[in-house]
């Protein structure tokens, strides 16, 4: 057994006021260290565009990792809060923006791929705001 973890300077979260939120999700990724600065910035921009198309994302924050624990040197944390479990597993993961714009950064068959190795996708129920 092993543990994955990260330390990062958390910026302020973006939030849709007064929206219900019951699921917190975090994705840890490792961007290829040889990726160009421009590619990394475009990748980050594409992630941050997603809430504009997916209304069930009610809070979000993208951070660069300062310290990484585990087998992978994580580089980014993509945090979101969703209205409910179905929104995460359905609307978000199956959304055309996810598959047509964002997935190219993760898919080894796409020339734009910059996310390497594995990802760490975790989510849980929340009773209160998780992303401040």
Could you report how far apart the first and last alpha carbons of the chain are, in Å? 31
Question: What structural domains does the chain harbor?
Answer: 18-121 (3.30.70.100)
Comparing 20-24, 38-42, 55-59, which segment has the lowest mean pLDDT?
A: 20-24
Most confident of the following: 1-15, 35-49, 117-131: 35-49
CB 23 within 8 A of CB 92: no
Residue 114 has pLDDT above 90, yes or no: yes
Q: What DSSP element (H or E) covers 25?
A: strand 23-29
The tens digit of pLDDT for each residue in 52-99 reads: 999 999 999 999 999 999 999 999 999 999 999 999 998 888 899 988
More confident residue, 119 or 17: 119
Task: Give the whole-angstrom CA distance, residue 75 versus residue 46.
Answer: 16
When pLDDT is averaged across residues 93-110 and rounded to a whole number, the result is 92
> For residue 51, what are the β-bridge partners?
none
Task: Give the whole-angstrom CA distance, residue 131 versus residue 1.
Answer: 28
pLDDT of residue 120: 92
When pLDDT is averaged across residues 35-44 and rounded to a whole number, the result is 97
Residue 15 has pLDDT above 70, yes or no: yes
- What is the residue-averaged pLDDT of the chain? 91
Residue 11 has pLDDT above 90, yes or no: no
Q: Could you tell me the pLDDT band of residue 129, with boundaries at 50, 70 and 90?
A: low
Strand (E) positions, 39-117? Answer: 57-64, 67-69, 76-82
């Amino acid at each position: 057994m092993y543990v994955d973890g990260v330390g990062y300077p958390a910026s302020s979260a973006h939030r849709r006021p007064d929206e219900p939120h019951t699921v917190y999700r975090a994705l840890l990724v490792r961007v290829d260290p040889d990726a160009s600065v421009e590619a990394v910035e475009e990748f980050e921009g594409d992630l941050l565009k997603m809430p504009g198309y997916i209304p069930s994302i009610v809070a979000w924050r993208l951070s660069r990792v300062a310290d990484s624990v585990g087998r992978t040197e994580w580089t980014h944390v993509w945090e979101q809060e969703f209205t409910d479990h179905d929104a995460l597993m359905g609307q978000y993961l199956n959304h055309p923006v996810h598959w047509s714009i964002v997935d190219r950064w993760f898919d080894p068959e796409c020339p734009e791929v910059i996310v390497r190795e594995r990802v760490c996708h975790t989510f849980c129920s929340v009773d209160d705001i998780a992303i401040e």
